[in-house]
Structure formats: C-alpha cells, structure tokens
Chain A
Amino acid sequence: MKIIAIYNIKGGVGKTATAVNLAYLASTDGANTLLWDLDPQGATSYYYKVKPKVKGGGKKLIEGKSDIEDAVRGTDYEDLDILPADFSYRNMDLFLDQTKKPQKRLRKLLQPFEDEYDYVFLDCPPSISSASEAVFAASDVLLVPTIPTTLSLRTYKQIRKFFHENGYAEMKILPFFAMVDRRKQMHRLIVEHPPSFMPGTLRSYIPYASEVEKMGVHRAPVGVFAGRSRAAVSYRNMWEEVKEDLHLLESELE
C-alpha cells in the first residue's frame, strides 16, 4: 500500500482535480485504489457521486471508535473506492488533538487497508495544521500542484521551509505545475525553467483546460468523458511519471 497525498497550503490550485484523476488512473491499472476525501467541502466525494457523509460521524471515525471499513463506498469504477468527506472534518484538528498521537493517527487508521489497497490517495484541504502534519506523517509521497506564478512559487518556498524546520526534510515531495496557461509568458518561462528551490519537479504539467472544469458537470474524471483531451493525456502522463519516480511500476496485489 502506497499513500499519495495531494497537498498545498494554497486553495484552488487543482488539488482535488489531481486527486480525482490520478486515483482513477491508478484504478484503471488494475490496482485496488482508495481515495480519501479529507476536505469538509467534499468536492472529491461530489465528483464521484458519493454523499459527503461518514456513517456515525467524522469524529468517531478519526478517533477510531467506528469501523473505518464501514465508511468506504464503491464508486462507478471498478477497483476504485472512496472514503467520503464529512462536514465535521472542518474540526479535524480538534479531533486529532484529542487522540494520543495525533501525528500518527491517519496512518494508523489506514492500517486495516494495508493488504486491501495498492494505493491510497489523500485529497487534502488547503491549510497547514495538525491535520496536514498527520497527512505528512502518513504519506509516502506528497504531490504539490503549483500554479506557475510568482506568488504560488513563494508559497511553495514556504512549504519547503516548513518541511525543513519541522523534521520532514526526508519527505518525498513531487511538485508539479498545474493550471498552466501557455499563452501567458510568465507561465511559459516558469514551466520551462523551474526555480532551483523546486528540485524534483515533475516533467509533466497540467494545462489550464476547460475539460477539467467540466468534471463538475459530468461528475466524473476527465478520462471518462474526454479520454482524448489534452487534460486527460496530461494526467495520464503525470501518473506514469509518478509511478516511475516512485518505482511503482510494480505492485503486490491480492
């Protein structure tokens, strides 16, 4: 089981779009995939037509008082399940802080799935908090969508600084550019020459594309309703690159 988190402090950078599409692609590889919607807004759950509600409430789930397996829902796609959001997740920090080892909490909650899922994707809300620290501790890798603008790069720098200062220096971070508009000179420049503080930036990037916005209408990943679109192709390339990067070409299945 590999845990892949899609994270950025910044909102509206394409985290959810990435999580929704990559998880779908992983499942079409034949890998058993779980997508956990950690954002109380429940956008991911919405895209997969699943009610953003956890049976018994989010608090009990996080505290380990209800069976996490009961909360999992199947999607319209084979091999892809979702752990829906719950509005109570807005208080995630509180829930976590009431447990013994808040940092290790998420990892522990996912333990029962070790043999069941090949991949777990975490769609994170935009913040930096106890919840995000629990995400960092749980994840094998962090994918960080970044819009190629000066301001977003500054945010990325802050994230890196935070990692270095808080004991996550070893964390595997894969930044990539999202919502790239090649008509904009600044976007072009940054994508072609990523700054030195962004080592390991993925070669593939996600263009600004109307198909991604249409996901909300179709309530499906782009690969499903626009398989040949530029957006679908770039998510596919990105998934291949991530697998390669993480040596995930191989997985053990059951």
Chain B
Amino acid sequence: MAKNQHEYILPETSSTADFIASLQSIFTIREEHEAVIWRTFYDTFDWRLFNQGASLELYKDQTSPKVYWRADKDSARKIQLGLSSVPRFIDHMPRSNLRKQLEPIQKMRELLPRIKLKIKRQPIVVLNDEGRIIVRLNVDEYWFRPAKTRAAHVLGRRVSSKAVKGYQENYDQYLDFIQQLELRTAPDNMLKLALAETGHSAGDYTTKLNLLLDTDEPLIAALKEILARLSEIIHQNTPGTIRGEDTEYLHDYRVAVRKTRSVMSEIKDALPPDIVNTYGKFFSMLGKYTGPVRDIDVYLIKLDKYQKNLSKEGKKQLKAFKLHLQELRKEKQAALKETLKSSEYKQAMKSWDEYLQQPVENLDENSPQARPVSTVADKLVWELYQQTLEQGNVITPESPADDIHTLRKTCKKLRYVMEFFQSLYPARRIRELILVLKGLQDVLGDFNDYAVHIDMLKEFRKSVPEESVEKAMTAMIKELKKKQAAVRAGFAEQYAQYSSQDHIDEFREIFVDSR
C-alpha cells in the first residue's frame, strides 16, 4: 500500500450497515452510488505467472477497462495498460513495458482467465463542516464463484481508505476510529484467498508425478497409481490440445502418452496381457496421431531464429516455407482434433480410467503382478543403468550419430523409470542421481536438437528454387553441423561423471545393496 492508503478486514460478525452506522456516529458522511467492479486474474495453464510471483489482471469498473501487471503480486507497484481485454498470446500484446516483463514468463503459452472476482463497492466520503471531502473510503464486498457448478458467495469484506490531500489531520482521526474498532489490516491479496476456495492452490498443475508409493505395495497396484496419474495429465491437457494454438498442451500430452507406453513396455508381465494388448495399441495410435503436429510445432518454433541471418529474398522464402508449414499443421491438427473428439477415443479413455480405478483384489501371491514394487523397480533401474553404460562406453568421437541417438533413447527410458519409482527411494539421493542423468540428457538432447534443425533446413532447402537461398541454407547447415560437433565434444565430460566409479557405486548402493 502506498502511504496514506489503508485496507482493513471487516469481520464477518459485523455487517456493512453496522460499520457505516458507527462511522456516522462520529463523522459526517455521504454514501455515494454503489459500484460494481470485476477483477479477472489471468494466468497460463501451468500457472507461470503465479509461480513467478507475478499477476495480470483485467480491471473493469464504470470507467474504461484496464489491465494491471504486477511483477510482484503482493506489491502496490503495478503497470497499467489501457486495454479492454487480455490478449491470449504474447504476440498480440501491444509493445510496452508490460509486454517486456510478461514475455519471458508467458513465453508461447496462452493466457486463460483463472479467477474472477466481483466486487460490490460502497464508496463513502467523509465531509467537513464546509461540505468538503476530507477522507475517501470504500467498503468492498468480494464475491466469488469457485466453480461453474457452485453458487457465488462472499469471500470477504474490506474497507479501504485514502487520505485526501490537505486533510491529513482528519485522516489521522479516521485511523484512530478504525483502531477503536480493532479491525485487522488486510494482509494478503484476494487472489490467494480465492484460489484457496477453489480447492486447489495456484501452481497445482505440474507434469511431475509426485506419487507416494509404498515399497511393499504389489507391483500392479503401484503401476495403476502411476498410470492413473499419467492419465490425469493426459486429461488435463486434452481440451488445450484440441484447441491447438498453445503448443505446450500437446507437448505435455505427448510426454504423458509416451510415459504410459513406456510403463507398458518396460515393465513386462506386470499388466494383464489383454490390457497391454488393447491399450498398448491405443496409446501407440495416439502417439502416431499427435506426432506430425508436434514435429511441425518444433520446426515452427525453431524457424524464427533464422530470420535475421537471411537476405531479403531469403526472408521472403522463409516466410513462404513457414506458411506452408502452418497450412500443413492446420490439416494435421484438424485430424488430431477429430480423433480426440471422437466417441471411440472418449470411450477408450473412459474404460482405461475404469480399469485403473478398479481396486487390486484377490491377487495370486505368486503371480508376477504381486511382486513388491521396490524389488521390480530396483532391478529395472539397475538394468537400464547398465545398458546406458554399455552403450555409452563404446562411444568415441568417431562413432556414428545413430549410436548417440540410441543412448539418448535408453537414457530417456531410464529417466522415466527413475521418476516413476522416485518416491520409493531416499529423496535427496535419488534426486542427485536424476540430476546427473539430466545433465547427460541435456547434452544428448542438444545434439538431437541440432539434428532436427539440420533436417528442417534441408526440408526448407528442398522447397526453394532460388539459388541464393539454397546457398544460404547450405552455409547454415554447415554452421549447425559445427555447433553439433561442439556439443558432441562436451559429451565426454558429462559422460565421465555419469560413468564414474563413485556414481556407479551410488547406483549400486541404492538399487542393489540396500535390499
């Protein structure tokens, strides 16, 4: 709050009328026209703004609507932009300081209205003997509807006040009056309060699994928990994937599908064969349907980087290539949308969820499904780790790119499995192991990234008849290959840590010796 502005909470036990009456017993006041204010808070699906401590709000009252940006949501300092709506994507946000601060947080994600508050405001002015306004205050009643299916209710009432210039003494009298009422100052912002009411806190969307598996749990029960959590992520991202503009939904959707498939393929004999058969096919089909759109997305995201290095003609060609990709994407996206909206898809997901929700009962103690999850997890992680070492140890600066890709895939499998079972192991130690693995994966990922870049530029080169552009592309590809080679040089260092004796010992201790 700026100086000479205060905000207090009106207790539930006293009504607005009570407050006004007690105000009236001391001051001459005038009640102004009641006003309605709408405050809508926007955030990305994965709460990027909130997680960064920022907030973006559309504020509507009787005057012209505006957008407020707070880099620190609890601070009074804000940027105001005269807009009547919040653009969903950063590209549509007018160039401004607000955009400059929002862009690195929002990135490519869409903004959604997350919390909408209605404020019934009773403005009151305190007057002196000459009829001049000496203090302004508002009694604000915050209304909130936690969900479409629930009724709106009062979230709280607050009285905010502001000194009028030249009447500081009167304002101090008012503050004395408030002190006698023993009102509490309003500490946190309404956004937080409203969020708590929705039953979930902001930042509750995460692609982390965050499970709490039990070491003695039968394998099948644990797997169902993992798969149910993955299914949840799939569902969370389905509507956004269908809308198809914010590319991150599809990304998260695909990762969850891939992990689901990896549970089925990596942990053999754990799920009934008919289940593996039916749903293995289903999820692999989903992988196929979502692949083309994602591939184009990856191209489109990378494409813009090449703009500035091109001649005018090259820029024109690149634009044409981009348009071509966008057209292609539209086509593929339409097909994907149709799939995800089909009754077959919905039915399959529904019965999958039903299967996952079925309690595990009457297990044959000797069946592979009944093995304690930790035994299986230990073995699997250890084996996959061994496999990465076998593949990694033979990689030399001369070995073909395919070898690196193979290692990349095995590392990914290992990473998935370690994350599935993470909660079975000492938290800090397994986190360390995952971190080192991640370091290695980053190098392998960068290497792959360049490969994708190069493929894309080759595609582009094929699509342009212009010789100068072709030359530019060839030069760029050469440049990228150089960078890719540099990444590869960094591999040895990361791998050395990953395959060091200490690291192997740590793996062994956690996944082999501890049982």
Contacts and interface: CB of A to CB of B under 8 A. Distances in A.
Given A29-B63, A254-B2, A73 B80 contact: no
Given A74-B133, A253-B79, A254-B2, A29 B64 contact: yes
Interface of A: 28-31, 49, 72-74, 76, 78, 81, 116, 243, 249-254
B167 interface: yes
Given A29-B64, A250-B98, A252-B97, A76 B133 contact: yes
A254 B167 contact: no
B82 A29 contact: yes
A49 B63 CA distance: 23
Contacts of B59: 30
Nearest to A247: B96
Top 10 closest A-B pairs, CB basis?
Answer: A74-B164, A73-B166, A72-B165, A74-B165, A249-B82, A250-B96, A81-B165, A28-B63, A250-B81, A254-B2
Nearest to A27: B63
Given A29-B82, A30-B80, A253-B77, 15 more contacts: A28-B63, A31-B80, A76-B132, A78-B136, A78-B162, A81-B165, A243-B82, A249-B81, A249-B82, A250-B79, A250-B98, A251-B79, A252-B78, A252-B97, A253-B68
Contacts of A243: 82
A73 B132 CA distance: 11
Contacts of A78: 136, 162
B94 interface: yes
B76 interface: yes
Contacts of A29: 63-64, 66, 80, 82
Given A29-B63, A30-B63, A253 B166 contact: no
A20 to B, nearest CB: 17
A249 B77 contact: no
A73 B82 CA distance: 27
B94 A254 contact: no
Interface of B: 2, 59, 63-64, 66, 68, 76-83, 94, 96-98, 132-134, 136, 162-167
A31 B96 CA distance: 17
Contacts of B83: 249
Contacts of B132: 49, 76
Nearest to B97: A250
A231 B162 CA distance: 31
Contacts of B94: 249
A249 B98 CA distance: 11
A254 B82 contact: no
Contacts of B163: 74
20 contacts: A29-B63, A30-B59, A30-B66, A72-B165, A73-B166, A74-B133, A74-B134, A76-B132, A249-B81, A249-B96, A250-B80, A250-B81, A250-B82, A251-B79, A252-B78, A252-B80, A252-B97, A253-B78, A254-B77, A254-B78
Nearest to A55: B166
Nearest to B164: A74
Contacts of B165: 72-74, 81
A252 B68 CA distance: 9
Given A243-B82, A249-B96, A72 B76 contact: no
* Most-contacted residue by chain A among B76, B163, B164 (CB, 10 A): B164
Contacts of A74: 133-134, 163-167
A179 to B, nearest CB: 27
Nearest to B59: A30
B160 to A, nearest CB: 11
Given A29-B64, A29-B66, A74-B133, A251 B80 contact: yes
Nearest to B81: A250
Contacts of B63: 28-30
Contacts of A249: 81-83, 94, 96
A251 B165 CA distance: 22
Contacts of A251: 79-80
A252 B77 CA distance: 7
A62 to B, nearest CB: 19
A49 B128 CA distance: 14
A121 to B, nearest CB: 15
B97 to A, nearest CB: 6
Contacts of B98: 250
Given A72-B166, A81-B165, A252 B79 contact: yes
A253 B68 CA distance: 9
A113 to B, nearest CB: 11
A15 to B, nearest CB: 23
Nearest to B138: A78
B89 to A, nearest CB: 19
A226 B63 CA distance: 16
Nearest to B66: A30
Nearest to B167: A74
* Most-contacted residue by chain A among B79, B82, B96, B163 (CB, 10 A): B82
Given A30-B63, A76-B133, A78-B162, A253 B167 contact: no
A204 B241 CA distance: 46
A72 B82 CA distance: 27
Contacts of A73: 165-166
Contacts of B68: 253
A191 B77 CA distance: 42
Contacts of B136: 78
A49 B132 CA distance: 9
Contacts of B66: 29-30
B40 to A, nearest CB: 16
A186 to B, nearest CB: 35
Contacts of B76: 254
A61 to B, nearest CB: 14
Contacts of A252: 77-80, 97
Contacts of B82: 29, 243, 249-250
Given A29-B64, A74-B133, A253 B162 contact: no
A253 B164 contact: no
B139 to A, nearest CB: 15
B246 to A, nearest CB: 25
B79 to A, nearest CB: 5
B356 to A, nearest CB: 49
B81 to A, nearest CB: 5
A81 B78 CA distance: 21
A86 B328 CA distance: 71
Contacts of B81: 249-250
A249 B77 CA distance: 17
Contacts of B162: 78
Nearest to B62: A28
Contacts of A253: 68, 77-80
